[in-house]
Structure 1
Amino acid sequence: MHVSSFVTVVCLKSNTGKESTMGPWIIQMTIILFILLCCSQAKRDQMLYCSACGAIVDELTHSIGLVDPKKTINVGSFRLHADGTMKDKKVPLARSETHLSELLDAVCESMSDYALHVDPQSRRKEYKRFAPRSDGDGAGAGRDFPDFKNFQFGGPEAPNALKFACETIVEELEDDIVALFGRNAQNPHTELCKNLSDYCEDSRNPNEEL
């Protein structure tokens, strides 16, 4: 039974029979439990979720950029030709809903290419990409590899936590992400990670390459 439903049941029972003597105490304890449960569900590691959100934006932006802008996809149309057949409607493949949904289905697998990075000066922690991309772009491409001594590759803050956060964000904001990238927002990091979700406190790219 959901906690809020349990509160309602307890309130009803407190007004009937012998259970009324225990009613107020049970109600108070149940309300406290409900508040604690809500707080525990709402509490998230902001650094983790901000990093995951930024990684999602970076990975989607990169994948979209790999698609030939001339490629289109037929999405159909509600309009009909004079003979009753449906008119074809083509849109750019890269930012089509179909393509973006496919990218989202796989984006969290890329979280294994990220690790917890600790800035040697500020000691600020955030997940950053350490692995070069298979197409030769990203960290390590045409530049020195990042300093691995500032990365932590194991322990309780391993990339599996980042993948879980990524999957949570995708599950909760899938429609918003598709709409955001579909209209080619100018600053997707700010739009998604701050304005829409409030995962990040500032508008900078939380996964800026080293």
Structure 2
Amino acid sequence: MARSLLNICCVVLLSVLHAAAKRDQELYCGACKALVDEIEYAIKQVKPHKMIDVGSFRINPDGTQTQEKVPFAGSEVHMTELVEDICDKMNDYAASTDTVTQKRTYTRFNKREGEENIELHNISIDGETSKKLKYACQNVLEDYEEELLQIFREKKENKSHLLCNVISELCSNEEDHDEL
């Protein structure tokens, strides 16, 4: 009985490892970078003076409350709201293949409010790419949500490189860390 349970566990583990190995690295790297970019953009859109009360709503024995006001942008509440539907933004991305290296990247093709015209070269816009990118984004978020939130909470520099190259290693074989 124990031997067959061990065999089942080995088969499941091998299946999981095989599925992880089959991940399209360019897709997951692009999804990771797009995810970080979308969160950074959303945080920048919040008015700097918008504040939120954090702390305990309980009244202490001396009649005081332990609360303070912190900026809403990037707060835990804000980040929780953002990650709920951030992967829907992947519908605004398309695949772009470098004509020389044949390396595939993902580019935002829908202009954001206040942005200048976007230069698009050699892109392919289709629903299937958006679906795959959204699925990859959801997987990245599921696997690295805590690390992502910590990076933003601690206001780390080079968030995309830190999450996508160092922590998750989804972009580990990439030289250029700034491109989506």
TM-score range relative to shorter protein = 0.7 to 0.9
8 Å contact kept, 1:77–1:89: no
What is aligned with 2:123?
151
Q: Of the candidates 48, 73, 78, which is equivalent to residue 99 of structure 1?
A: 78
Q: Of the candidates 32, 44, 68, which is equivalent to residue 53 of structure 1?
A: 32
Q: Of the candidates 106, 119, 127, which is equivalent to residue 98 of structure 2?
A: 119
Instruction: Decide which structure has the larger Cα Rg and report it.
Output: 1
Matched residues, number: 177
Q: Of the candidates 190, 194, 197, which is equivalent to residue 165 of structure 2?
A: 194
* Greater relative contact order structure (CA < 8 Å, 6+ sep): 2
Counterpart Cα distance in 2 of 1:33 and 1:41: 12
Q: Please report the TM-score for the alignment, with normalisation by the length of structure 1.
A: 0.74
**Structure 1 residue ranges without an equivalent (≥5):** 1-6, 13-26
Q: How does 1:31-110 map to 2 (within 5 A)?
A: 33-34=11-12, 36-43=14-21, 44-77=23-56, 83-110=62-89
Change beyond 3 A, Cα 1:86–1:109:
same
1:177 corresponds to which letter in structure 2? L
Q: Please report the TM-score for the alignment, with normalisation by the length of structure 2.
A: 0.85
Residues 17-47 of structure 1: CA deviation (Å, up to 9, x unaligned): xxxxxxxxxx5xx687446413323221111
Identity among equivalent positions (%) equals: 35
2:92 corresponds to which letter in structure 1? D
1:181 is aligned to 2:159 = no
Residues 112-163 of structure 1: CA deviation (Å, up to 9, x unaligned): 0001111123221111111111x132xxx2x45413xx1122385x110000
Counterpart Cα distance in 1 of 2:144 and 2:161: 14
2:72 corresponds to which letter in structure 1? L
**Structure 2 residue ranges without an equivalent (≥5):** none
